Amino acid sequence: MNLYESIESQDKEVFGALQGEEQREAEGLELIPSENYVSRAVREANGSVFTNKYSEGYPGKRYYGGQEFTDEVETLAIERAKKLFGCDHANVQPLGGANANIAAYFAWMEPGDTIMGMDLGHGGHLTHGHPVTYMSKLYNFVRYKMKNVETGEIDYDEMRATAVREKPKMILGGFSAYPRELDWAQIKSIADEVGAVAMADVAHIAGLIAGGVAKNPFDYGFQIVTTTTHKTLRGPRGGLIMTKGVVSNPMKAPEKTIENLPTLIDRAVFPGFQGGPHMHQIAAKAVAFGEALQPAFKTYAAQILKNAKAMETVFRAGGVRMLAGGTSNHLILADVFGSLGIEGKAAEETLNAVGITLNKNAIADDTRPPFNPSGIRFGTPAITTRGFKEGECTRVAELMLDAMKNKDDQSKLDTIRQEIKELAQKFPIPDSFV
């Protein structure tokens, strides 16, 4: 079935790129932990007539007319998100995870205020205060790290001491390359001790939380939870901000109190940070949230963890050092330079050549440069969507090690590429998950 019939007749160059990407995804395996495959229904919603409509404001409070159906689909997305994550309020308008984090900061913080977040080198994200970001110029970020990079244990004693000393207005729990679970209770306890708002960025594990196999920060009293809507949640690329409590009047600026957080967040998103929401994206979010509410999603989430453990077992047997000693979630961070003598960039390129897509990644306290670090980061959300179980994931991990150890043997790499292609064809990307 040609999904791009009109593009094919109108724009050969774009059609060629689309065809190439279709083939790349079909014949290879996606192991980047922040990537996944979406259903045909999500893709259809994302390319729907809602792309035509401007909808500044919120359901029932828009600035333009003709909003009866945009209100309907945005309300659906909101209600489904609330049900998935057990919250009272959800803003589905952020265009991405970075937008969601920035809007959450804007809602509660003033320029110069202090935010505590995880150090990028120990698993955090750029938006958690890395010096290259504009947010680091607006706010004062202080950081926490792992106490032991071999076990992944966070230094909560040092986090508490830093919080007492620096008095952050917000403490942020969340990560981009951390393979273990955070202790939400400890983070909330520290936030309470210093009078800070507790915010969680669960972009990587949102699908695991929705599927019931990872802990929900709301259960530990967190006031703000942000996430992307892709990755393990398996929706369109976008962002989401959730809180407890209800909106009073999003068109009127309230006092900065915990009770007013929902209203403060809505005003921070619009008109504070974004203009018109992307209604086609919100429609796709509504579809994806509906899929995540189905019983099959819990089975999917559980299998992600089983598959990651299967790959961990192979890498451990192969003598590869894994940061934090392995994984408790969907991703693995491996020190391939220290263990196999191959740079992260070369590992990424070698594996890409055999049809396995992952990303080079710095490890904790890496002495190598960011564009050619010591590690690689990979995970199981996308291949689990294709139906891979532990046996297939074990074999993929074996082939990864084989390829990295034989990166200069083209004949060997060609053989591995053929096996990966056959495996991908055996497990085609599904159109539907319900």
Interhelix angle 156-166/184-194, nearest 10 degrees: 20
**Residue 373 · residue 363 · CB < 8 Å:** yes
| Structure-token match 């976008």, residue found | 238
Q: Which residues of 156-180 are buried (b: 16+ CB within 10 A; e: fewer)?
A: beebbebbeeeebbbbbbbbbbbbb
User: 58: helix, coil or strand?
Assistant: strand
**Residue 204 · residue 329 · CB < 8 Å:** yes
From CA 118, how far away is CA 115, in angstroms rounded?
10
From CA 62, how far away is CA 386, in angstroms rounded?
40
Which residues are part of the catalytic machinery? 54, 56, 201, 228, 231, 237
Q: Which residues of 201-217 are buried (b: 16+ CB within 10 A; e: fewer)?
A: bbbbbbbbbbbebbbbb
From CA 217, how far away is CA 24, in angstroms rounded?
37
- Alpha-carbon torsion angle 29, 30, 33, 34, nearest 10: -170
From CA 83, how far away is CA 282, in angstroms rounded?
16
Interhelix angle 68-85/279-292, nearest 10 degrees: 40
Q: Is 414 exposed, middle or buried (0-12, 13-18, 19+ CB in 10 A)?
A: exposed
